[in-house]
Amino acid sequence: MKEEIQQLRTQFEADIAAATDGRDVEALRIKYLGRNGLVTALSRNMKHVAPQDRPVIGKMINELNTLVRDAIQARKDDEGETQQEAGIDLTLPGRTPRVGRRHPLTQIRDEIKQIFLRLGFAVADGPEVETDFNNFEALNIPKLHPARNMQDTLYISEELVLRTHTSPVQIRTMLKQKPPVRIIAPGRVYRRDTPDASHSPFFHQIEGLLVDEGISMGDLKAILSVFTKEMFGADTKVRFRPSYFPFTEPSAEMDMWWESDKGGRWLELLGCGMVNPKVLENVGIDPQRYSGWAFGGGIDRMAILKYGINDIRLFFDNDLRFLEQF
Ligand code: DAH
């Protein structure tokens, strides 16, 4: 077997040296590497090799295979360059460069950002590895709150987590900046979840926060209604339902009326509410003087609605057949 491999190598070296043009090279490719090629046949014969010899023989065949493949590719590359240099036909249309495009989630995120920038908000940012304080404690999520359940949170250590929401950016911002505060914070968040069509262990949220003197729930409703109409169309209907979040009081959920071929229904779009005075105290802002509102919602979810996508995993598979549709 060893001699056979050696012989085949010598034969190939002679063949490739004798090949004069691209057609010869292609014929060689088929002769050696094709379905019934000589190197292919060698690999197929492996089953007749004694088990103790297989590692050595296998390695030799692999090396030969690589050598043949690389030599053929190198000759093909040369061939292309020579043709180009010869400038054979200048009237041939040029090669269209492949233009990349922005990921659908990036597009949606930028669209959301643009709307809030027009409304006078700034963009804030925070790390994906967060402290327990920023992700939970300062947001009035006490140690025994169900949101801290090991089921949901991915812990790095006792004190560090992969942020479970973008709300810690509220804390970071208010610790640095005194009111008026007017920010949005888009970003990636993590939860312990088994992937399926509607769950992913990571996804994207957008957070909003406005703190100033004399801010009321009316301001929140006005801004979020404007946002939804800009995002989903001028006749979009929204409703606010009472809800509960530890970091807001009162809290609400905003639903959007959604029409599809199956009829219309209310879909939950985001959580929101008046910033809990305890949260303001935690970051050293006087709740007697200042009040604020906040919201947080899923960017992936908004993209799913806007584009009519039925599986969240499509966003993360990087399949060009999907990505090229946007
Ligand atoms: N952080 C919440 C979540 O991930 C969403 C949320 C609700 C954010 C209400 C807020 C808010 O800022 O006010 O489920």
Of 145, 156, 149, 186, nearest in space to 169 by CA: 186
Distance 102 CA to ligand 1 centre (A): 27
Is the alpha carbon torsion for 319, 320, 322, 326 positive or negative? Answer: positive
Q: Mean pLDDT across the stretch 97-121? A: 94
Q: Report how far residue 308's alpha carbon sits from residue 322's, in angstroms, rounded to the nearest whole number.
A: 13
Q: Report how far residue 117's alpha carbon sits from residue 109's, in angstroms, rounded to the nearest whole number.
A: 12
Provide the pLDDT confidence category of residue 181 given band limits of 50, 70 and 90: very high
Would the pLDDT of 205 be above 70? Answer: yes
Q: Which residues line ligand 1 (CB under 6 A)?
A: 165, 167, 207, 245, 248, 271-273, 294-296
Atom number, ligand 1, closest to the C-alpha of residue 275: 13
Longest dimension (CA), the chain: 91
- Helix (H/G/I), strand (E/B), else coil: 231: helix
Provide the pLDDT confidence category of residue 90 given band limits of 50, 70 and 90: confident
Residue closest by Cα to atom 12 of ligand 1:
295
- 239-294 confidence digits (pLDDT tens): 999 999 999 999 999 999 998 778 899 999 999 999 999 999 999 999 999 999 99
Q: Worst-scoring range by mean pLDDT, 34-48, 184-198, 220-234?
A: 34-48
Q: Which of 121, 245, 270 is the best mutation target for the ligand 1 pocket, counting ligand atoms within 8 Å of the beta carbon and taking the most?
A: 245
Mean confidence (pLDDT) of the chain: 92
Q: Which position has the higher pLDDT, 182 or 86?
A: 182
- What would the two tokens of residue 185 be? 């914070």
- 316-326 confidence digits (pLDDT tens): 999 999 998 88
- What would the two tokens of residue 138 be? 């300062």
Provide the pLDDT confidence category of residue 99 given band limits of 50, 70 and 90: confident
Region at 140 (left for phi over 0; alpha for psi -120 to 50; beta for the rest): left
Atom number, ligand 1, closest to the C-alpha of residue 273: 13
Q: Are 230 and 247 in contact (CB under 8 A)?
A: no
Amino acid occupying residue 193 = D
Atom number, ligand 1, closest to the C-alpha of residue 208: 12
Residue closest by Cα to atom 8 of ligand 1:
296
The whole-model pTM stands at: 0.71
Residue 150, pLDDT score: 64
Q: Report how far residue 187's alpha carbon sits from residue 165's, in angstroms, rounded to the nearest whole number.
A: 9
Atom number, ligand 1, closest to the C-alpha of residue 167: 1
Atom number, ligand 1, closest to the C-alpha of residue 296: 8
Would the pLDDT of 79 be above 80? Answer: no
Q: Report how far residue 34's alpha carbon sits from residue 155's, in angstroms, rounded to the nearest whole number.
A: 51
Q: Which of 136, 162, 165, 170 is the best mutation target for the ligand 1 pocket, counting ligand atoms within 8 Å of the beta carbon and taking the most?
A: 165
CB atoms within 10 A of CB 303: 23
